[in-house]
Amino acid sequence: MGHGKDFIDHYRIIRLIRSGTTCQIFEAVDGNTNQKVALKVLTAQARHNKVERKYLQHEYDIASKLEHENVIEVYGVRTTGNDPYLSLEFGQQLNLKQRLRADQHLMAYRADTIIETSALGLGHLHDHRWVHCDVKPDNFLVDDQGSAKLIDFALCHPSRTGFLTKFGFGRPKGIAGTRSYMSPEQIRHQPLDIRSDIYGLGCMYFEIVAGKVPFTGTSPENLLYKHLNAKAPPANTVNKNVTQEFSDLIEAMLRKKKEQRPDNLQKVLSHLSAIRIFRSKPPHPSEIASKDDEA
């Protein structure tokens, strides 16, 4: 690692936060500014892979042009040397997938804020004409107040609409994603635009209020088949506390034909501002604890 085992370039490594097949995330300190950062570093297996290095550069090229409180800030990139890395804003937050597992009651209590701020961050990306292509709870960091930050732009694809789309320009080539949140057109390798992300966000909204993803399968192929052909159960039949209006919004976001979904997140946000998500607001965890103590 760079100048020694405790450094990568001019970043002093404090601890490993998490590790995956292609990258590791470290808590680090920038030796030039003394600022704490998160360092996304390619693993030994991936560091010599030209595609993975390009993903790092691609992520920096996109994220460095974004400036929004609900989008993670990116500081720098290095794609050469033994430890290619991307330096990012450091936060103590877990991602939404982790928090839905560990802090179920708090996430239910903060659901309205999570749902709104995730749409705001994703909408900012859309304003810059990018499709995220991997919208899922894992790619939003969430604090205790429910404020979400969009992360991970490695798979972002230019949004294509109108004339170019009709002739196949912008058609993804073997584009990756996550099966539980993948739109029908993404599965079919058709041209993508922001309505593809709206589908993924609809899957995520369903999971926030229902406690599970809208589709599961007996195999990866069966799961993709359901995205293409099956109708998701109404969210308010899985969680009786969900309002009909919010259940209807999720249903609209999950329509198989992208032309039938909301075509931008401003419409989703406008709809959210006019409805309630729950019939009665879920209690704060402290209220649940108090009732348990009384019992």
Each residue of 169-225: pLDDT tens digit? Answer: 344 455 568 999 999 999 999 999 999 999 999 999 999 999 999 999 999 999 999
Model's pTM, two decimal places? 0.91
CA distance 180 to 210: 14
In this predicted model, what pLDDT tens digit does every residue of 135-169 receive, in sequence order? 999 999 999 999 999 999 999 999 865 433 433 33
Does an H or E element contain 122, and which? helix 111-127
β pairing state of 94-95 and 140-142: antiparallel
Say which residues have a Cβ less than 8 Å from residue 35's Cβ, sequence separation at least 6. 29
pLDDT in tens, 210-268: 999 999 999 999 999 999 999 999 999 999 999 999 999 999 999 999 999 999 999 99
CATH architecture of 94-273: Orthogonal Bundle (1.10)
Superfamily the domain 7-89 falls into: Phosphorylase Kinase; domain 1 (3.30.200.20)
Q: Pinpoint the residues of the chain covered by CATH 1.10.510.10.
A: 94-273
